[in-house]
């Protein structure tokens, strides 16, 4: 049964009952997460309560993702579960999936200039700032443009205004999200200009960029990182394959040479930058040699944050229609695991390079005083330092969202351990 046939209610706007309990379930990427956080803030501004528990909710909003068959299955399972357990509740399906509707809150209060009067989301340790949506690139494997439509960019000044409000709300890290950040364009300015402008708002607040496509513009992004110390030393490239032949079959608009150029320039300018990437294993026609090229690319540039997925046929895409030279699902999975293993080893080696150094950590969990460094390494208190957390008592709570400097004592499996200095 398709998810659309679950008939999740056919309203796109919350019109009534200003005191509904609403529960959001979010699948997918940071963009999806940022949209949920924005919707939560709008609902709160309208007088609704956000609850985490399905049983307490009057309405459950599922923001779905169907980037892979597995992601879609997980969403379908959740919807089926909710339908069965809470037949009387209002369910709303939104996001990237067949049958989804746009979730909108009606009659949001407006400023004199017509813009929506909304307090910024405050619940997460890091702020998520959506700057762009949609994509027109037409990669053969990708279903996303079907749900997200043509590219749109949020105007430069509007983005900066929201970023300022995040800073005023006490955030010390802003995560910039979009469907394809390289398509950001407003008043003649691209994503590199935007990142630099957000970073200029406050030296106390760092900026983390979502994933970007390799290519000439990516070099501008690398230079923006190098020139602005408060843009995180973390570059996630959406690479997908280390073989030019496969990139061509995927209709990706860059070559392996372009990936090499971006990765080399980044590490030349910032030797301790963390490189991440998305990879697809087992695209139709991917030979052992193509796969070896992908592995070689990960080893060559020591990609330490590797998201590797087995190729997944998404109905309606060009790649799903390719019947020749399909790779067996088991082999796709094995290759994805091999790529992930290279990434895990690179991460272990990368983390070791921080031992003895001082790092700035945005605290995510106030109980354990753990959080993330700018390089997107997990930082936890080392054993000897644990009494520090209890000694902090209530003070520890105030550290959530804040930047705390740690000295790294050791690392294990890519996680850093140390103590505040």
DSSP string, 102-147: --EETT--B-TTS-B--PPP-SSSSEEEE-EE------TT--HHHH
In angstroms, what is the minimal distance from the CB of 6 to ligand SF4? Answer: 18
Kind and range of the H or E element at 49? strand 49-50
Q: Which is nearer to ligand SF4, 65 or 261 (CB)?
A: 65
- Alpha helices by DSSP H, listed for 228-328, are 244-250, 256-269, 288-300
Of the candidates 273, 274, 334, 281, which has an alpha carbon nearest to the alpha carbon of residue 307? Answer: 281
In angstroms, what is the minimal distance from the CB of 300 to ligand SF4? Answer: 23
Rounded CA-CA distance 18/260 in Å is: 54
Is residue 214 involved in binding ligand SF4 (CB under 6 A)?
Answer: no
Rounded CA-CA distance 265/255 in Å is: 16
Determine the Cα angle at 108 with ends 210 and 97, to 5°. 45
Of the candidates 94, 138, 67, 74, which has an alpha carbon nearest to the alpha carbon of residue 314? Answer: 67
Is residue 241 involved in binding ligand SF4 (CB under 6 A)?
Answer: no
Is residue 210 involved in binding ligand SF4 (CB under 6 A)?
Answer: no
Size of the site for ligand SF4 (CB under 6 A): 18
Rounded CA-CA distance 41/51 in Å is: 13
Rounded CA-CA distance 380/361 in Å is: 10
* Binding pattern for the stretch 154-183 against ligand SF4, x by CB under 6 A and - elsewhere: -------------------------xx---
Instruction: Mark the segment that binds ligand SF4 (CB under 6 A) among 62-70, 81-89, 286-294, 407-415.
Output: 62-70
* Binding pattern for the stretch 108-147 against ligand SF4, x by CB under 6 A and - elsewhere: ---------------------------x-xxx--x-xx--
Rounded CA-CA distance 295/107 in Å is: 52
Q: Which is nearer to ligand SF4, 200 or 321 (CB)?
A: 321
In angstroms, what is the minimal distance from the CB of 342 to ligand SF4? Answer: 22
Structure tokens at 182: 């390289």
The residue from 67, 258, 261, 298 that contacts ligand SF4 (CB under 6 A) is 67
In angstroms, what is the minimal distance from the CB of 148 to ligand SF4? Answer: 6
Tell me the residue number closest to ligand SF4, measured at CB: 28
The residue from 8, 22, 28, 350 that contacts ligand SF4 (CB under 6 A) is 28
Instruction: Mark the segment that binds ligand SF4 (CB under 6 A) among 60-68, 306-314, 337-345, 406-414.
Output: 60-68
The DSSP symbol for 231 reads B
Q: Which is nearer to ligand SF4, 28 or 418 (CB)?
A: 28
Determine the Cα angle at 271 with ends 267 and 276, to 5°. 55
Is residue 361 involved in binding ligand SF4 (CB under 6 A)?
Answer: no
The residue from 20, 44, 60, 96 that contacts ligand SF4 (CB under 6 A) is 96
Instruction: Mark the segment that binds ligand SF4 (CB under 6 A) among 6-14, 24-32, 46-54, 303-311.
Output: 24-32
Note the residues at the interface with ligand SF4 (CB under 6 A). 28-29, 31-32, 65-67, 95-96, 135, 137-139, 142, 144-145, 179-180
């Amino acid at each position: 049964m398709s998810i659309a046939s679950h008939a999740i209610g056919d309203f796109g706007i919350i019109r009534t009952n200003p005191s509904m309990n609403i529960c959001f379930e979010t699948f997918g990427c940071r963009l999806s997460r940022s949209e949920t956080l924005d919707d939560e803030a709008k609902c709160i501004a309208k007088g609704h309560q956000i609850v985490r528990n399905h049983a307490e909710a009057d309405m459950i909003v599922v923001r779905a993702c169907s980037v892979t068959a597995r992601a879609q299955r997980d969403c379908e399972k959740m919807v089926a579960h909710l339908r069965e357990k809470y037949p009387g509740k209002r369910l709303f399906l939104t996001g990237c999936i067949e049958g989804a509707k746009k979730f909108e809150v009606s009659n949001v209060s407006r400023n004199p200039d017509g813009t929506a009067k909304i307090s910024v989301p405050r619940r997460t340790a890091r702020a998520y700032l959506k700057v762009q949506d949609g994509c027109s690139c037409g990669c053969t494997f990708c279903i996303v443009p079907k749900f997200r439509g043509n590219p749109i960019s949020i105007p430069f000044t509007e983005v900066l205004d929201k970023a300022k409000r995040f800073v005023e709300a006490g955030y010390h890290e802003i995560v910039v999200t979009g469907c394809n950040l390289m398509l950001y364009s407003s008043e003649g300015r691209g994503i590199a200009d935007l990142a630099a402008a957000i970073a200029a708002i406050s030296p106390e607040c760092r900026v983390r960029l979502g994933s970007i496509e390799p290519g000439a513009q990516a070099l501008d992004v690398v230079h923006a990182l190098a020139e602005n110390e408060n843009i995180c030393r973390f570059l996630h490239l959406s690479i997908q394959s280390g073989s030019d032949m496969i990139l061509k079959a995927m209709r990706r608009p860059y070559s392996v040479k372009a990936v090499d150029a971006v990765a080399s320039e980044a590490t030349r300018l910032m030797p301790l930058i963390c490189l991440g990437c998305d990879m697809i294993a087992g695209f139709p026609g991917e030979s052992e040699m193509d796969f070896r090229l992908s592995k070689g690319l990960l080893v060559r540039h020591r990609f330490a944050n590797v998201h590797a997925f087995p190729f997944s046929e998404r109905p309606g895409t060009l790649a799903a229609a390719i019947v020749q030279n399909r790779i067996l699902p088991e082999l796709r999975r094995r290759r994805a695991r091999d790529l992930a293993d290279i990434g895990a080893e690179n991460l272990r080696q990368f983390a070791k390079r921080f031992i003895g150094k001082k790092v700035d950590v945005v605290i995510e969990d106030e109980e354990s005083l753990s959080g993330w460094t700018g390089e997107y390494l997990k930082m936890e208190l080392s054993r000897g330092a644990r009494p520090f957390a209890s000694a902090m008592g209530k003070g520890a709570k105030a550290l959530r969202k804040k930047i705390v400097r740690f000295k790294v004592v050791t690392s294990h499996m890519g996680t850093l351990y140390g103590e505040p200095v």
